[in-house]
């Protein structure tokens, strides 16, 4: 069990956008033979959640948000790469995640990616401000079962509708499930554009992904 002070330090490293400190904590925990996923779920994820909350309240600005997200991605990659083959959960499915074109707010997506990876999904994170055509191309290349997109601005929500149309044009709409999310996104919007599901938050995203793969 990881010391509470280390978990607090992990959370603070993300809040302070200190990637080097966060990586050092990962290396220390792993060197001590402790559980990297415990550090993720009880340290780093609460940290990135706090960052999102502070950004929403106007206490952090976009450059800080992006830096925190990059730190979160770095520790997620480090922890996942440290897991020995055969010790991870059986792969549940392949998921492609992206923040749509014109939108650089990807804090929520980063949390979803981290939780999905922790729950046994193989996740391909395309990052933020991603072209619709690239999402379709990567989905075909990676042979994913689910595509999750995030839109944090009302002006970029239309890109989620564009994706539905692009998947149909590419002839693969019936081969993948789509989940949409983001602050202005609603279940009504998901139904209107023809998405398979709406995720209210990261945990709901896990539930929706599990549900879609069980169909």
pLDDT digits (tens, 9 = 90+) for 49-104: 888 788 778 898 878 888 888 898 899 889 878 876 554 445 689 999 999 999 98
Residue 107 CB coordination number (10 Å) = 25
When divided into structural domains, the chain yields a total of 2
pLDDT of residue 90: 56
Q: Do residues 48 and 101 both lie within one domain?
A: no
Q: Do residues 35 and 61 both lie within one domain?
A: yes
CA distance 28 to 53: 28
pLDDT of residue 84: 65
pLDDT of residue 80: 79
Residue 89 in domain: no
pLDDT of residue 117: 78
Q: Do residues 196 and 110 both lie within one domain?
A: yes
Residue-number span of the structural domain to which 41 is assigned: 4-82
CATH number of the domain to which 111 belongs: 3.40.50.280
Residues of the chain with pLDDT under 70: 84-91, 118, 215
Q: Do residues 13 and 55 both lie within one domain?
A: yes
Domain end call among 23, 57, 82: 82
Sign of CA dihedral 47, 52, 54, 59: positive
pLDDT of residue 73: 83
Residue 194 in domain: yes
Give the dihedral of Cα atoms 48, 181, 132, 75; nearest 10 deg. 20
């Amino acid at each position: 069990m990881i010391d509470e002070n280390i978990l607090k330090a992990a959370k603070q490293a993300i809040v302070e956008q200190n990637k080097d400190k966060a990586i050092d904590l990962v290396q220390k925990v792993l060197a001590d033979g402790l559980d990297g996923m415990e550090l993720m779920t009880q340290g780093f994820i609460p940290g990135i959640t706090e960052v999102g909350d502070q950004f929403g309240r106007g206490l952090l600005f976009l450059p800080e948000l992006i830096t925190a997200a990059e730190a979160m991605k770095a520790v997620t990659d480090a922890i996942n790469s440290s897991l020995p083959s055969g010790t991870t959960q059986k792969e549940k499915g392949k998921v492609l995640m992206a923040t749509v074109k014109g939108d650089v707010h990807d804090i929520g997506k980063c949390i979803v990616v981290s939780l999905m990876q922790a729950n046994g999904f193989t996740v391909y994170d395309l990052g933020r401000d991603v072209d619709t055509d690239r999402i379709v191309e990567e989905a075909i290349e990676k042979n994913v079962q689910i595509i999750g997109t995030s839109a944090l601005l009302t002006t970029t929500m239309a890109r989620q509708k564009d994706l539905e149309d692009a998947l149909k044009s590419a002839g693969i709409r019936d081969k993948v499930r789509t989940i949409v999310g983001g602050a202005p996104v609603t279940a009504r919007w998901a139904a209107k554009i023809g998405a398979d599901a709406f995720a209210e938050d990261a945990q709901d995203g896990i539930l929706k992904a599990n549900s879609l793969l069980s169909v």
